[in-house]
Amino acid sequence: MTAEQDSFPGTRPRPRAPQQLLFSFLGSLVLDRGYPPIGSKVFLTLLGDLGVAEAAGRATLARMTRKGLLARVREGRTARFSLTPWAEDLLREAKPRVDSPAPFTHPDGEWTLLSYSMPESRRDLRHQIRARLIWAGFGGLRDGLWIAPGRVDIGAVFKDPEFAEMAELADGFYSVPVEGTDVPKLLHRAWDVDAIRAEHESFIAAWTPDRGRAGRPLTRLTLLGADWLQVLRTDPGLPAEHLPDGWPAAESTALYRERFDTLEPDATARLRVLLDADPGRR
């Protein structure tokens, strides 16, 4: 567990990986802000404040560069990083749901069914497509059959060229349950409903005490965003009428928006201080 998480009041969610923290930082405070490439010292300072060792921070920057998420340039002895167009697209795709005042709400009674096959030649993409499906709100009913609440743009899930073979083998339908379908039972088959509730409750327990904290707005906002992204990955927005009483999604959403709006101005100001102190900044 990181130093920031050790000192954090309340019940902390599980520790976030450095890449998760950087995605939160980049999506919240860097994307579309017009900053020039940012020196590695800024990233390492942020990660260090979150308890990530310098070696692990440098390894994360290198890994994200190899994956095509960051572009690296060198100015003298200083390495600088910027988002690649691909990474910008990923963050922009996520932003409407991250910023939504009701990210877990869909039109009542509408569902998306998806059946697809994984070509033997593209087994290497299994993890990537599964991650995309989960982010889009899908849960697995059985092998090759997935379901999501609401109307999901299936074309967006398979839009990248590497998924073209899977897109050709995918069939999607917008549907409604047949009368008499036990929808709560279906939800428990496709998702771990208890785990989804626990994710919301953990977020609430961790971030409600933040109202009484002061200082470190940049590290707190970064950790807030990483925790919120995990909630969004976990909860596809299951229909409230089929969930247990006191479902906590609305409470966690309101808490995230409150904490983000409170922390963002000071976090932005702190980032500008770090950027102004960045040697050789253009």
At residue 280, the pLDDT reads 57
Q: What is the Cα–Cα distance from 268 to 217, expressed in whole angstroms?
A: 9
pLDDT digits (tens, 9 = 90+) for 38-58: 999 999 999 999 999 999 999
Residues in the chain, how many? Answer: 282
Q: How confident is the model at residue 12 (pLDDT cuts 50, 70, 90)?
A: low
Q: What is the Cα–Cα distance from 256 to 18, expressed in whole angstroms?
A: 21
At residue 101, the pLDDT reads 92
At residue 119, the pLDDT reads 65
- pLDDT surpasses 90 at 218: yes
Q: What mean pLDDT is reported for the chain? A: 88
Report the CATH fold assignment for 1-105+193-282: Arc Repressor Mutant, subunit A (1.10.10)
- pLDDT surpasses 50 at 103: yes
Q: How confident is the model at residue 7 (pLDDT cuts 50, 70, 90)?
A: very low
Can you give the pTM of this predicted structure?
0.87
- pLDDT surpasses 60 at 24: yes
Chain centroid offset of residue 154 CA: 19
DSSP code of 199?
H
Contact 44, 2 (CB under 8 A): no
- pLDDT surpasses 80 at 135: yes
| Cα radius of gyration (the chain) | 20
- pLDDT surpasses 60 at 114: yes
For residue 125, give the amino acid letter.
Answer: L
Contact 42, 274 (CB under 8 A): yes
At residue 121, the pLDDT reads 64
pLDDT digits (tens, 9 = 90+) for 243-256: 989 999 999 999 99
- pLDDT surpasses 70 at 227: yes
C-alpha distances in Å from residue 178, one per residue of 30, 110, 145, 183: 46, 12, 17, 10
Domain regions of the chain by residue span: 1-105+193-282, 111-176
H-type alpha helices, the chain: 3-6, 18-25, 40-49, 54-66, 85-99, 126-135, 154-157, 164-168, 183-190, 193-207, 217-234, 249-276
Q: Which residue has the higher pLDDT, 175 or 60?
A: 60
- pLDDT surpasses 60 at 11: no
- pLDDT surpasses 90 at 278: no
At residue 10, the pLDDT reads 45
